[in-house]
Amino acid sequence: GQQVMQIPQYQHVQEGEDFTTYCNSSTTLSNIQWYKQRPGGHPVFLIQLVKSGEVKKQKRLTFQFGEAKKNSSLHITATQTTDVGTYFCAGPDSNYQLIWGAGTKLIIKP
Amino acid sequence: SQTIHQWPATLVQPVGSPLSLECTVEGTSNPNLYWYRQAAGRGLQLLFYSVGIGQISSEVPQNLSASRPQDRQFILSSKKLLLSDSGFYLCAWRGQPSSEAFFGQGTRLTVV
């Protein structure tokens, strides 16, 4: 079946360093969504990308959707402690049900 | 505005006991409703989804069942809990096939 692979599983960074997580789908996606889950919390929607090659920015966060609409990335510039959490990507299957990546946990080194 | 309510926030249950988790959505009609489970430090596992009253799709065969008795109410149940049922249970809704998911606060279930 359709799969969405997300890497890395964890990323440890010093505060102020950059962070990137990548998603790859086994099939072309109509859109891709990104969510953030703070420790102990629930996933919260961040953004949706729809167009091939689309790039969107939210302050220090940059989201990209690949030209083939099969991959996507989230890049955070100069991480802060408030960025800590797990970032998930998700894309709809042929029945419009979301297929989720496994998530990338951002950990700030003390 | 739309809101989603899920309760209880935490639950400790003995093995073999029944379970009932409830989720309700306000401010929207005919939502797609979802139950997910998340093991500690892991991703989201879709358990059930529903596109309408009485319509339940099961993604993973297991010790759990779901029901949708009303348009905006989604219930997750078990007759006899297993230790492996422990986890963080999340209810979510989506309004349109291409729309984003909105999650409840989650229920942290520990089976002892």
Mean pLDDT of B7-26: 96
CB–CB contacts below 8 A, A to B: 42
Computed over every residue of chain A, the mean pLDDT equals: 96
In angstroms, rounded to a whole number, what is the distance separating the alpha carbons of residues B59 and B93? 16
User: What are the phi and psi torsion angles at A38 (to 5°)?
Assistant: -70, 155
Condensed to tens digits (0 to 9), the pLDDT of residues A16-33 reads: 999 999 999 999 999 999
For chain B, what is the largest distance between any 2 Cα atoms, rounded to a whole number of angstroms? 40
Structural tokens at position B33? 């409703």
Closest Cα partner for A101 from A66, A61, A74, A83? A74
The band of B96, judged by pLDDT with boundaries at 50, 70 and 90, is confident
Place of tokens 């109509």: A30
**H or E stretch at B70:** strand B65-70
Q: Is the pLDDT of residue B97 over 90?
A: no
Q: Is A48 on the interface with B (CB under 8 A)?
A: yes
Chain A nearest-CA distance from B80, in A, is 26
User: What are the phi and psi torsion angles at A30 (to 5°)?
Assistant: -75, -30
Q: Is B97 on the interface with A (CB under 8 A)?
A: yes
Q: Is the pLDDT of residue B85 over 70?
A: yes
Question: Residue B57 burial by CB count (10 A; 0-12/13-18/19+): exposed, middle or buried?
Answer: middle
CB contact under 8 A, B101 and A96: no
